[in-house]
Structure 1
Amino acid sequence: MTSLTPRNVSAAAFAKAIDRFGAAIGKQWVLTSDEDRATYLDPYAMGDGMDHESSAVLAPASAEEVQALVRIANEHKVPLWPVGRGKNFGYGAAAPAMRGNVILDLSRMNRILDVDEKFAHCLLEPGVSYFDLYNHLKDNNIPLWMSVPGNSWGSVVGNALDRGIGYTPYGDHTETLCGLEVVLPDGDMVRTGMGAQANSKVWQAYHYGYGPGWDQMFVQSNLGVVTKAGLWLQPEPEMTAKITLALPNFEDASWALDILTELRRRDVIQHNIVFGSPVRAASVQSQRKDWYDGPGALPNSASEEMMKKLNLGWWNTKLFLFGYAGAVQAHVKLIRDLFEPKLGKKIDFEIWQKGDPVEKSARGIPSTLALQSVNWYGGRGGHLSFAPVMPPDGKLILDYAKRTKRLYDEVGHDYYASFTIGKRHINNVSLILYDRDDADMTARVDKLYRTLVARAAADGYAEYRGHISYMDIVADTFDFNNGAITRLNDRVKKALDPNNIIAPGRNGIGREGAKA
């Protein structure tokens, strides 16, 4: 067994806990070797990743086994770090925020428990991947579509619980959650919403229940372990249309974002719109050395060469339309009327109608192509993202982009930007690519990330998600009334989890030294 133990747990107590974990789920599902634990390190860590090393890994096969493990963990004061499939790349993957936590790997719990074709919802365990659900729907000819994130080999449930997004009308994945089954930190089990009724027939039909709605309490938190989750799916539309727009000038962001945000607010465009720079497109199909191999940030001439050879604009966006044929055709015309005069050319949508090969549609299809971007600098690549939530104002966003690019230029790093347009906001996504074994580069990346966090906070904007190494500094930017939200989170944490067993420190909740 590993010599590493969780903080404040003696070697003797940890050995007893490991024996009891094995008795509860089978010794073969308690992983303690150096080789096993190494597979759960952050593959994008800036360095060796050992500061987020686990002391062991537990792999239960059922909610009942999760209950048993949580109760044992409480008795021995052993902290657990739950993960669905551990593929949350760019945010720490499966590694725990605090070194020595025992990883609770739920990937063996991978049953698709129900798909209701008529009412368009499903019930999943946390180990179900996007590929699992997509193949199930496709292989069984179920006319329901799912939303997928850019890199989609992770957990459907886990992504929704971390407020991940996709690019269809159901792309706000947290909003599609409807009914959770949760093991609480003392081992008790609850079902939220209408599932609180033992024989409920509408658990996945109605977001709420009777009294407070608790689902959001388990989103981006460490107040329980979700063992089942209901999600809504998209009924197959009659028609889709899609187009890629390339906007030639940096300044085009201002007017284009104003048009797109208005279309998004009015639900003409029903999906999260991604609006990205040349490096975003080039990094999945080439490496930096193909364009420039010198010091400092990528020069404008290299970006212009990318644009020319890859048929890109300074800003590039894909638009999708879904629905009945008449509505889609009307919206195609509207978008043409808005963009063609600005671009000075005709734009053509790719139309799909029900019955055509689904691969040609705007359906969400799982892919891992986005992972290619980490090869940009060569070596063992990685990426880190800072994506503050901002007002959907074109002029403001353009000014912010200029300021951000200057920061990248100052530290000698290539500017990779995209803006994700939601219903009433924009996430200004500053992706930072790096070679994780280049010490000078990773030091610059760390400085750049911290600078971006501090600057956004000073401007009144904050991140909506956080990497395990930066959870505390992101949490500290939510500072109204001297951090009242952190105090509230810690009070609830202390009430439900007095031993701080479930994911201590996740998103700044229950971190060391916290005062409830």
Structure 2
Amino acid sequence: MSTTSEVATSVPTLADKHSGIPQYLLEKAVNAKKAIREGSTDKVGEKKPARSVAIPQGVDEDTFFKAIDELRGTLGAQHVELNDKPLEDGWYMEHPNTHDAMTIIDQEEFVSSAVVYPGSTEDVQKVVVWANKHLVPISPISMGRNLGYGGAGPRVRGAVVIDLGRRMHAILDISPEDYTCLVEPGVSYYALYEELQKRGLGDHMWIDVPDLGGGSVMGNALDRGVGYSPYGDHWAAHSGLEVVMPTGEVVRTGMGALEGSNTWACFPYGFGPYIDGMFSQSNFGIVTKMGMTLMPNPGGYESFMYTFPREEDLPQIIDIIRPLRISNILENVAQLRHVVQALAVRGQPRTHWYGGSGPIPDAVVHEAAAALPAGDYTWAYFGMAYGPAAARQHKLGIVDAAFRRVPGARRVDAADLPADDYFWSRDRVARGTPDLHELRWCNWRPNGSHVAFSPVSPIRGADAAALLELARRRHTEFGGIDLFPAFCVGLREMHLIVEIVFDRRDAGRRRDAMRCLRAMVDDAAALGYGEYRTHLALMDQVAGTYAWGGGALGRLHETIKDAVDPNGILAPGRCGVWPRRYRGKGWEMRGGGDQGADHEETSQGKGVDGAGKAA
């Protein structure tokens, strides 16, 4: 086993790499990597079998390699890499850009043939023109850290991944007067935070960060990810895009479309039809620049945590949260988490708490939780109040009176919590300081990976109870999967985020996780709840649940796709949108039959050719 010092030397920092860790989190990153290695059944340095390049279907092998040589001549040989080496999954800070590091199906399914590294918007144009010429599918990533949703993997096997982040990671502008920034795809939350500190602006303005800070600011917004300050809706905080269209043309949206614009990041709409939405969770263009709004320092903050003793308290808690959240007394995205996550987020394997099979018993969970700093409970609410002390105390008084209507509710005294407690990670994230704490719960299983069930509902206690029951029933049915529920409450909607943690080296556990997910997606849709985001393997199924009008929305997406991408080269199949030359040829993965049951899922299709006919 590697020593801590050996591990430390291989953790990249921001000084070394655009995707690196900031210095203030280096020790935490070293410890996280060490724990992941200890929970892995892979042997460090073990020789893996050689593998061949995954040639995209419909492209002759000789033609493909000649096309790659042509692209090397265009971009420079050092900026084009064939994916012909053994696949290494790495971990959060050293993730692959060739495949899905947390695969829930066969590792070779969502895998690239090559990776290219453009250095400018003009380079991206060149790659797109090249792809159209040779009819090679391409799949852009910002940084490839969309872990749990498919990572850097392309939806179509053998697509060429365009890694925008390695060479396009400039912070093009920060305006302390307007509280805005303009960024390229490779700017992480870590990097933007550090740049604000470097410029002496860290006390003046904040960024809003998701649970982990290593992802792309742009990429997270485009996938409609969230953070935990009042600016937590990242797509709503964007303003203006620069986009390379699938034909190679470049467009700018919003105020960015004005020559010499001085308000690109200030006003999102510009003039005329507002089309930015077509580039979010889509395959209609490659975004190379994005404006974002930043949050003024509110003049103070105070984190707080309430616990509630019983599972059946859930509906009452949610109904209390709703008016407080809508009126902004609860100012940031509400986090209501189950006690089992209090154990898992400590980063120890499940066997530390329980060695049996089936779901970990409630009695074991509560006995273990009683020994933790916050004590035993079933639900924990993490929140933050912002503003001067008098304003905070007024809001906190309202919150306290409301939550104490739940029998047994108590506010945890933060002074009693040690510095490494999860509470302080939530505190940092809610005040715009990127962290590296959240994925500790992946250590729950050997070779720990995760995939999310993420339905959206109204903020109602009855809806919360229905979704929790649905998830619990299916988790029990498919191999007794441990249930990790968290309710994240926005201004008018609530997301139930259920993370399934599984051993990616165990085909049986992967199958169980997939079967459970597919069943929950269909169950939720039958009750009127739709997913807001999903893994590559479930995109066709989830897209299919939005079926009003006989699938009118899907047909509109296809019409747009065929108009803007006539050759169908850009990220075919992403978010369930297939271009004409792939459509109906066996590429879709909707579940049912053998898919996700007794066999690994595949979507190799029946092939495509330049005419869009089955090959």
- TM bin, normalised by shorter chain, reads over 0.9
Q: How far, CA to CA, are the matches of 2:546 and 2:462 in structure 1?
A: 25
| Aligned equivalent of 1:308, options 370, 378, 402 | 370
The answer to whether the Cα contact below 8 Å between 1:277 and 1:417 also exists between their aligned partners in 2 is yes
Residue 301 of structure 2 corresponds to residue 240 of structure 1: yes
Q: How far, CA to CA, are the matches of 1:262 and 1:350 in structure 2?
A: 26
**Structure 1 stretch displaced more, 15-24 or 108-117:** 15-24
Q: Equivalent residue for 1:104?
A: 162
The letter for the 2-side match of 1:237 is: P
Q: Equivalent residue for 2:519?
A: 451
The letter for the 1-side match of 2:489 is: I
TM-fit CA distance, 1:328? 1.9
User: What are the Cα deviations for residues 461-509 of structure 1, in whole angstroms up to 9, with x where unaligned?
Assistant: 1101111111111111111111111110010010000111110000011
Q: Equivalent residue for 1:388?
A: 455
TM-fit CA distance, 1:327? 2.4
Sequence identity percentage: 38
**Structure 1 moving runs of 4+ over 4 Å:** 343-346, 348-351, 358-362
Q: How far, CA to CA, are the matches of 2:58 and 2:404 in structure 1?
A: 64
User: SS at 1:495's partner residue?
Assistant: helix
Q: Equivalent residue for 2:351?
A: 289
TM-fit CA distance, 1:437? 1.5
The answer to whether the Cα contact below 8 Å between 2:245 and 2:251 also exists between their aligned partners in 1 is yes
User: SS at 1:418's partner residue?
Assistant: strand
The letter for the 1-side match of 2:554 is: T
Q: Equivalent residue for 1:72?
A: 130
Question: 1:7 and 1:345, CA in 2 relative to 1: closer, same or farther beyond 3 A?
Answer: closer
Q: How far, CA to CA, are the matches of 1:435 and 1:207 in structure 2?
A: 43
User: SS at 1:460's partner residue?
Assistant: coil
TM-fit CA distance, 1:7? 1.8
The letter for the 2-side match of 1:334 is: I
| Aligned equivalent of 1:328, options 386, 389, 392 | 392
The answer to whether the Cα contact below 8 Å between 1:242 and 1:349 also exists between their aligned partners in 2 is no
Q: Equivalent residue for 1:513?
A: 583
Q: What is the number of equivalent residue pairs in this alignment? A: 510
TM-fit CA distance, 1:368? 2.2
TM-fit CA distance, 1:37? 6.5
**Structure 1 stretch displaced more, 34-43 or 68-77:** 34-43
**Structure 1 stretch displaced more, 254-263 or 40-49:** 40-49
Residue 71 of structure 2 corresponds to residue 9 of structure 1: no
| Aligned equivalent of 1:473, options 528, 537, 541 | 541
Q: Equivalent residue for 1:82?
A: 140
Residue 561 of structure 2 corresponds to residue 500 of structure 1: no
User: SS at 1:118's partner residue?
Assistant: coil
Question: 1:344 and 1:414, CA in 2 relative to 1: closer, same or farther beyond 3 A?
Answer: closer
TM-fit CA distance, 1:427? 0.9
User: SS at 1:229's partner residue?
Assistant: strand
Unaligned runs of 5+ in 2: 1-50, 89-95, 416-424, 586-611
**Structure 1 stretch displaced more, 331-340 or 28-37:** 28-37
| Aligned equivalent of 1:298, options 360, 366, 369 | 360
**Structure 1 stretch displaced more, 189-198 or 362-371:** 362-371
Q: How far, CA to CA, are the matches of 2:487 and 2:246 in structure 1?
A: 37
**Structure 1 stretch displaced more, 5-14 or 55-64:** 5-14
Tell me the TM-score normalised to structure 1 length: 0.94
User: SS at 1:170's partner residue?
Assistant: coil
| Aligned equivalent of 1:24, options 74, 96, 105 | 74
TM-fit CA distance, 1:272? 1.1
Q: Equivalent residue for 1:206?
A: 267
The letter for the 1-side match of 2:298 is: P
Q: Equivalent residue for 1:355?
A: none
Residue 501 of structure 2 corresponds to residue 433 of structure 1: yes
Residue 470 of structure 2 corresponds to residue 403 of structure 1: yes
The letter for the 2-side match of 1:314 is: T
| Aligned equivalent of 1:42, options 83, 100, 103 | 100
Q: How far, CA to CA, are the matches of 1:514 and 1:163 in structure 2?
A: 28
Q: How far, CA to CA, are the matches of 1:478 and 1:406 in structure 2?
A: 24
User: SS at 1:296's partner residue?
Assistant: coil
Q: How far, CA to CA, are the matches of 1:341 and 1:4 in structure 2?
A: 59
User: SS at 1:396's partner residue?
Assistant: helix
The letter for the 1-side match of 2:174 is: V
The letter for the 1-side match of 2:333 is: N
Question: 1:125 and 1:492, CA in 2 relative to 1: closer, same or farther beyond 3 A?
Answer: same
The answer to whether the Cα contact below 8 Å between 1:47 and 1:437 also exists between their aligned partners in 2 is no
The letter for the 2-side match of 1:251 is: E
TM-fit CA distance, 1:343? 4.9
TM-fit CA distance, 1:347? 3.3
